[in-house]
């Protein structure tokens, strides 16, 4: 499972011209579910994201987590994070989980994150979404559940 986190002042996602999710002061999370990912992957990422100290304290140091600052999150499913671009110029997405399995893990991740982050909204799985954001920093991180499994730290 891959997550791209962007610290944001605000973010929103629209489907067919209607806003379906938003957040203020927190994280926009693009989430890609790979073939073979399981609930453990969602748990590792949700726990790590809740604890990451990427928000500024009163001294301006990135020393606080999203939970510490009572931040919000907007989670968007994004299978293109699993693109294979090694051969030719047209990526394939064969490494992405099948839609039914991916959606179940996406929903599970959102539910897990909601336990530690006060307000978590989401996009519409599989829809053509228009995402807007005001990046704060910018602070952008890419997390992989496979890395967390190897280190044993979430």
**pLDDT 10s digits, 134-149:** 999 999 999 999 999 9
The half-sphere exposure of 127 on its side-chain side, counting CA atoms within 13 A, is: 17
The alpha helices in the chain, defined as continuous H runs, are: 39-51, 99-114, 145-151
Q: Which pLDDT does position 153 carry in this prediction?
A: 64
Residue 22 lies in a domain: yes
Confidence band of 150 (pLDDT split at 50, 70, 90): confident
Domain count, the chain: 1
Give helix 39-51 / helix 99-114 axis angle, nearest 10°: 40
Confidence band of 48 (pLDDT split at 50, 70, 90): very high
Residue 73 lies in a domain: yes
pLDDT by residue (tens digit) across 21-41? 999 999 999 999 999 999 999
Residue 65 lies in a domain: yes
Closest CA to 110 of 36, 25, 35, 21: 21
Distance CA 24, CA 80 (A): 25
Q: Can you point out the beta strands (E) in 1-153? A: 2-15, 18-32, 55-56, 62-64, 72-77, 119-122, 129-144
Q: Which residue has the tokens 């959606």?
A: 103
Residue 107 lies in a domain: yes
Domain that holds residue 51: 2-137
* Model pTM score: 0.95
Domain with 44 in it: what CATH number? 3.50.80.10
Residue 110 lies in a domain: yes
What does the block give as tokens for 63? 């020393």
Residue 146 lies in a domain: no
Residue 26 lies in a domain: yes
User: How would you class 106 by CB atoms within 10 Å of its CB: exposed for 0-12, middle for 13-18, buried for 19 or more?
Assistant: buried
């Amino acid at each position: 499972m891959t997550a791209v986190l962007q610290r944001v002042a605000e973010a929103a996602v629209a489907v067919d011209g209607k806003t379906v999710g938003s957040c203020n002061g927190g994280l926009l999370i693009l989430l890609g579910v790979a073939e073979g990912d399981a609930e453990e992957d969602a748990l590792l990422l949700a726990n790590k994201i809740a604890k990451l100290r990427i928000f500024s304290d009163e001294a301006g140091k990135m020393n606080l987590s999203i939970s510490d600052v009572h931040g919000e999150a907007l989670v968007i499913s994004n299978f293109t994070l699993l693109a294979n671009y090694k051969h030719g110029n047209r990526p394939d997405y064969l490494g992405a989980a099948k839609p039914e399995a991916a959606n179940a893990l996406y929903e599970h991740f959102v539910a897990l994150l909601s336990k530690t982050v006060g307000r978590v909204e989401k996009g519409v799985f599989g829809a053509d979404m228009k995402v807007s954001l005001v990046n704060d920093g910018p602070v952008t991180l890419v997390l992989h559940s496979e890395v967390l499994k190897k280190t044993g730290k979430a």
